[in-house]
Structure 1
Amino acid sequence: MDARFAAMDANRDGRLSRDEVKDKGRFAERFDALDTNKDGALSKDELVAGRPVRK
């Protein structure tokens, strides 16, 4: 997850903006649901919490 997050974090601020994920498929589609604190950016914690549970 860390490498993938870093690759998407174009400005290296430790958060993913809507613009940074706009071409990233499911991240873009689920942005509003993943952004649980509604600050307009996704943190690593929000991404981890929003991951589907794998069986």
Structure 2
Amino acid sequence: MSDVLEVLNPATEETVATRYDRPAVRYEATVLVAAINESLWPALSQQALDLVAA
């Protein structure tokens, strides 16, 4: 019976999935940007200090 319902209304699972997938993707992207920022911070701060000292 559930197979019949999925065929008739396949969007039911998609609406539940997209409701939680979008914030999950946004969170993952935020964490990735923060990790890149943390890894680049020493090099960027050293370049800034070199520019100020020059």
TM-score, length of structure 2 as denominator length: 0.20
Greater gyration radius: 2
Structure that is richer in strand per residue: 1
Structure that is richer in helix per residue: 2
Higher relative contact order (CA 8 A, sep 6+): 1
